[in-house]
Structure 1
Amino acid sequence: MEKKIYPKVWNLDKVFMGGGKSSEFLDHINRLEALVLDLEGRVHSLITPLSTNEVMKVVDLIENVGNIRLYVSQATSFITCLLAQNPKDQDAAILRGKIAQKESRYEKELSKVKKILTYTKEDVWESLLETEELKEYRFILNEWRENADKNLSEEELNLISDLMVDGYHAWGQFYNDLVSGISVKILINGKEENLSVGQAINLRSHPIEEVRREAHYVLESIWKEKEELFSKIINHIAGFRIQVNSQRGIKSAIEDPLKKNRMKEETLNTMWAVISKYKQPFSNYLKRKAEMISGSSMKAYNFWAPVTKSNQEIKFEEAATLITEHFSQFGTELEGFVKQAFYEGWIEAENRPNKSAIPFCAGFPLTGKSRVFMTFSGTFLNVLTLVHELGHAFHNHAMKSVNALNKRYPLSIAETASTFAEMIIFDAAMKKANSKEEKLFILDEKLKRSVMNFMNIHSRFLFEQRFYKERNGGIVSAHRLNQLMEESIKEAYADSLEQPSIYSWVWTPHYYITQSPFYNFPYTFGYLFALGIYVKAKEKGKEFEKDYLALLRDSGSMTVEDLVMKHLGEDITSEEFWEKGMELCVQDAEEFIKLTSS
């Protein structure tokens, strides 16, 4: 059988030829500028609709808004990819500033549009949404109307938008640049190696405990050395957000992310309540794993450690073949998609220094393709990261036929597609396992995901809740941030993790994402939601792929409660829904204890 060779370095020239000096990309920027100018002109002459006779005026306007969003997304994704592969790319950094300015102007005009629409009389509004031309935009237009900044004048909206570019968002970019520029020296097999943060973090799954421990404490010393700088960054990001929320009449930091995730607070509280009830099985797993490795309690740097010696190196080509084979058993659409991703060079996987530490998927909606970024060093954990990001890319693929305004889905649903992809690989690997050691290895990786979602992400949520509460009263010191992190980890892990990283607030990039606070609970939501979907997929086989694609396509045009009710017939404000997914995870924990008891 002929051995397949897949590129490990992505092909960005198929998006825009020439990287940061691309003339094609400059043409794209010029086209975006023309679209923004056109929108500014339209909004300047826009008046509140008075009857359904003005429906085409509204249609033209929102289609222009949607078109700009596609152009901005295409440009932002390209620049993100350039800076990830080379954080010192000055051309890309300059382009990032240009796009940020145009996006800021676009957001200003969009805020004006939303505000003008709020003045439409209720009967006229309902009549407009019933027209054939606007029916498919009903959800997003109602969302605009409900979330419009009614409390702010046009001048205040413009000021906030201007400040976001070089103030608010700049802090988030500064954080990414700072982390990307850090290198650490770690002793591996008697040889000192100079590694990026991403490469050092990958050592958490190294089979030798001394390497894991050293990587952990070397990074901890770096974070301690720079904690004051990072505390300034996180305080400035949170402080700006609190001030803007206050002006907009938003009372708590969680209110905005709930709206963006199209989720009720009742749903979120129910999910965490169920998770809090089921901590013990996962505490038992951590204790048993610790006993297998080197002690009676789980040390933080041993959490990702392999429990058996079956942690062989997996070559990138082998990973590609494995993923393609198992995705094909789920459906032809997913199989064709993943083959295209590997053959056409969508994936940046090369293990090299001086690249970003953060894996991601970047969507290019104008061309209907994506790019996946990661560092592949040959572990099963890397395979799962690759699969996770390909899940995001498949979601983008499913949305190709959806109109521009309905393409944007909430973070909670985005994590569903990625987690669902992981489940395919886990299930397939478990079926192929021929020994107790292999089964333990796979179960351990699955349980790591459960612990991450039910304990680690819960700690992030608790930390952010407490941080914002204290930040309302002023700057929170680095010392106090460490305390809050330690308290949150202790509670979320039910006191079953020893020597945790109190600097998790430093190296967890999600706290520094300026698009949204609480970039944590969507992962847990997506994880449990994906488990429920996967059960149905196993019941129906390849026939389910059509239903799955329909669910993904609807993900940008309804609340999560309505989406689940429509496609699964479930009420997610009830504990019963969440307990179904939780039961599968508890079974994994019990199976792990059983297999390690003999």
Structure 2
Amino acid sequence: MRFNFTSAFGPQTFDTRAFDARVHQADGGASAGDFGDLPEWDLSDLYTGMDAPEVKRDLDWLEGACVSFAEDFEGKLADLDGAGMYDCILRNERISQVAGRLGSFAGLLYYQNTVDGTRAKFFSDIQDKITSFTAPLVFFSLEVNRIPDDVIEDMLQDVDLARYRPIFERMRKMRPYQLSDELERYEHDMSVVGASAWNKLFDETVADLKFNVEGKELGLEAAATLMSDQNRATREASAREVANVLGKNIKTFTRVHNTLAKMGDIEDRWRGMPTPQTSRHLSNDVEPEVVEALRDAVVAAYPKLSHRYYELKRGWLGLDKLQVWDRNAPLPLEDDKAVQWDAARETVMEAYAGFHPRMAELAEPFFTKGWIDAGVKDGKAPGAFAHPTVTDAHPYVMLNYLGKQRDVMTLAHELGHGVHQVLAADQGELLSSTPLTLAETASVFGEMLTFQRMLSQAKTKEERKILLAGKVEDSINTLVRQIAFYDFECKLHEARKGGELTSETINGLWMSVQGESLGPAFEFMDGYETFWSYIPHFVHSPFYVYAYAFGDGLVNALYAAYLESPEGFEDKYFDMLKAGGSKHHSDLLAPFGLDAADPKFWDKGLSMISAMIDELEAMD
């Protein structure tokens, strides 16, 4: 999921993990009280309420600041010296901060309850006003990109402006794809009734879905968790009901995907983007060949990763074939006892402190100051995310905690994001945001620390086996599944260029990547072909999903480097997180001796998962 607000530097976003990346294991009928006292957000650090006078104050300020910014700088950027451009950047940064605070507050309120009409209206109204107020700023990147290189270079000799070099470099990568000033302004103004409106339709449709499983009426989050229940009949019932409800709504989902893919195609053609993925690669500040190397390495590894693991799991479960409701099934010897919230907190905090006390110190306020919203509630958005808000506030974490080991890992993941966002905040509003490829580094590293601590404390062979299997499944969900999702998106957007896609066509594209990625241990029930329809990233953040695979593969390689050379690693790791978006991924990885452009880099990370499967095979 994502919400947008716009500054002179373009849309600012937050994203959740792709919902299918981790299906929570839990009893869909469980209540928040079953797991202890689950925390809720205290959003008063942003605003005390929708009617708080500070909301109007900041909206009024934003409107005036955007007008005066355009009056002072439009048509004059090329004539500025370094000091003048630095003043311009500082004013823009303040605009981004105020817009970000407003947009964050409205979005967080909305995602707490997406079916609340008052919240939905407030969120929509705030988005509309921010879009309208910031329209005068559209000139900025267009005008910067018309300034000759030597003039920009002269400006960047100013010592204060020099730290913003990455902003200018990323902005100027868009030069070949820039439209006229008039068209850019038109697109800006139309954004609230374009992709944003279709995103809301998707969110509201998903939030309103009801699933009847074994006599209980459930939302999507709770229904999907039952596909990980200990009882196979319950897993099958939930999978068939999810397929049934998605099938009844497939026309709406098909319309959403057709429209957004066509909108993307039109914009790409007008901008001259060579591929539908180009804009994502540019926003991620990553080269297409690096993504292609990652994709190819993971696809080549399907047989030794997912195919091999699921064949093991098929044997453990005593089945001739795995069905889709067995993919995330617990092992027969797995304890189904709920993990209390306090125990989850203690596990993650001990793992963080075991790496470095500073990491636990940074995570502590999330638990003590209302920075986490953990419970499952009617209307709450599914999945989990960490949203950085703005650099003069703090991040917020959303979970749907259902008391299972994988929920503990989700907590570790999102807290990793939170720690990263806190550390990067010192870079300021425009440089704190990390490209999505590296944005998953701290989160996956937090999971790895938690997993390794739990593994070291395993008392029996069975406990170790369960932990290893869980980690392998999470890695498959994050690497194999997300690359398969990426391939599905590539196929969908390419097919849409040829005309309107029927539901059956999209279903076929989905199934074309499922057997390839999951392997021969599976057969697929009727109805599974519609499961593409509820994955939010396809709607909100096209092609985002490879960032998860990037992060997982990177962290596996990073953790291997940690084990090989632990001396001084912690300081280099914290320096990497503090850098935020101020450095390219090649510069951030260089101190660790790693290079994402080297295909062998990805093989190193994948071999770590393969070694875990080796150990599992040896246990049989």
Q: Which residue of 1 aligns with 2:8?
A: none
Q: Is the 8 A contact 2:352 2:360 kept in 1?
A: yes
Q: Is the 8 A contact 2:142 2:178 kept in 1?
A: no
Q: Is the 8 A contact 1:290 1:298 kept in 2?
A: yes
Which runs of structure 2 are paired with 1:25-104 in the superposition (5 Å)?
25-44=55-74, 46-50=75-79, 54-104=81-131
Q: Structure 1: which amino acid aligns with 2:605? A: G
d(CA) in 2 for partners of 1:168, 1:101: 13
How many residue pairs are counted as aligned between the two chains?
Answer: 582
d(CA) in 1 for partners of 2:566, 2:40: 34
Q: Which residue of 1 aligns with 2:538?
A: 511
TM-score norm. by structure 1 comes to 0.93
Q: Structure 2: which amino acid aligns with 1:250? A: M
d(CA) in 2 for partners of 1:504, 1:7: 30
2:217 corresponds, among 175, 179, 194, to: 194
Q: Structure 1: which amino acid aligns with 2:78? A: P
Q: Is the 8 A contact 1:79 1:92 kept in 2?
A: yes
d(CA) in 2 for partners of 1:385, 1:203: 17
Report how far residue 406 of structure 1 moved: 0.8
Q: Is the 8 A contact 1:59 1:134 kept in 2?
A: yes
Q: Structure 2: which amino acid aligns with 1:509? A: P
Q: Which residue of 1 aligns with 2:5?
A: none
Q: Structure 2: which amino acid aligns with 1:387? A: A
Query: Within the alignment, does 1:232 sit opposite 2:232 as a pair?
Result: no
Out of 569-578 and 223-232, give the one that drifted further: 569-578
2:329 corresponds, among 259, 284, 305, to: 305
2:487 corresponds, among 462, 469, 491, to: 462
Q: Structure 2: which amino acid aligns with 1:297? A: K
Q: Is the 8 A contact 1:71 1:366 kept in 2?
A: no
Q: Is the 8 A contact 1:82 1:89 kept in 2?
A: no
Query: Within the alignment, does 1:216 sit opposite 2:223 as a pair?
Result: no
Which runs of structure 2 are paired with 1:164-563 in the superposition (5 Å)?
164-187=191-214, 192-282=215-305, 283-307=307-331, 308-499=333-524, 501-513=528-540, 516-539=541-564, 543-563=568-588
What runs of 5+ residues in structure 2 fail to find an aligned partner?
1-34
d(CA) in 2 for partners of 1:279, 1:146: 34
Query: Within the alignment, does 1:122 sit opposite 2:149 as a pair?
Result: yes
Partner of 2:47: helix, strand, or coil?
coil
Report how far residue 345 of structure 1 moved: 2.0
Report sequence identity in percent. 22
Q: Structure 1: which amino acid aligns with 2:191? A: M
Q: Is the 8 A contact 1:300 1:498 kept in 2?
A: yes
d(CA) in 2 for partners of 1:180, 1:413: 30
Q: 1:545 to 1:76 in 2, by over 3 A?
A: farther
Partner of 2:366: helix, strand, or coil?
helix
Q: Deviations over 1:518-544 (max 9, x none)?
A: 011111000011112223344565953
RMSD: 2.1
Q: 1:151 to 1:8 in 2, by over 3 A?
A: closer
Question: Larger relative contact order (C-alpha < 8 A, sep ≥ 6)?
Answer: 2
Q: Deviations over 1:65-99 (max 9, x none)?
A: 22222222222222222112211233322232233
Q: Is the 8 A contact 1:310 1:441 kept in 2?
A: no
d(CA) in 1 for partners of 2:144, 2:561: 41
Partner of 2:43: helix, strand, or coil?
coil
Q: Structure 2: which amino acid aligns with 1:14? A: D
d(CA) in 2 for partners of 1:26, 1:496: 58
Query: Within the alignment, does 1:568 sit opposite 2:592 as a pair?
Result: yes
Partner of 1:400: helix, strand, or coil?
helix
Q: 1:85 to 1:121 in 2, by over 3 A?
A: closer
Partner of 1:502: helix, strand, or coil?
helix
Q: Which residue of 1 aligns with 2:29?
A: none
d(CA) in 1 for partners of 2:200, 2:147: 38
Q: Is the 8 A contact 2:312 2:617 kept in 1?
A: yes
Q: 1:150 to 1:116 in 2, by over 3 A?
A: farther
Q: Structure 2: which amino acid aligns with 1:185? A: N
